[in-house]
Chain A
């Protein structure tokens, strides 16, 4: 079995009004060095197989087809074998 973590990020050119609003909060707290806050998504799940290549394939396809929208988002993932 593998544990997958997927991080979905907005493409740099896509506006991120949430990130912008959160950064306003940072300024209110006095974090004046904070710049370019961007909000993404963190998703974790298990893939029930002993074959790492199958797990990779499923994580990729799941991320491409559903977890991210390729028009506005990129994704990274990690896979870790668990018992």
Chain B
């Protein structure tokens, strides 16, 4: 699969990663060759095979509906790059 400039930019946008002009081609090439390489999977016959999401044989554990009040604001705001009062602060969204 050849990844063109338009595709790599679309993927970068979705990933929220800005690529510099000189990186665009490099990553496009990397991705192309990796995708070419993984395409050998098409040699396998997977008709009637269920996709394997998780190898765990356990059942999903269920939690009781109990609250743990952790007076969280200090804990979660502790590492915030920018905060005002009890809020996280981010630059404004432009519409």
A and B found bound together: no
**CB within 8 Å of B: which residues of A?**
none
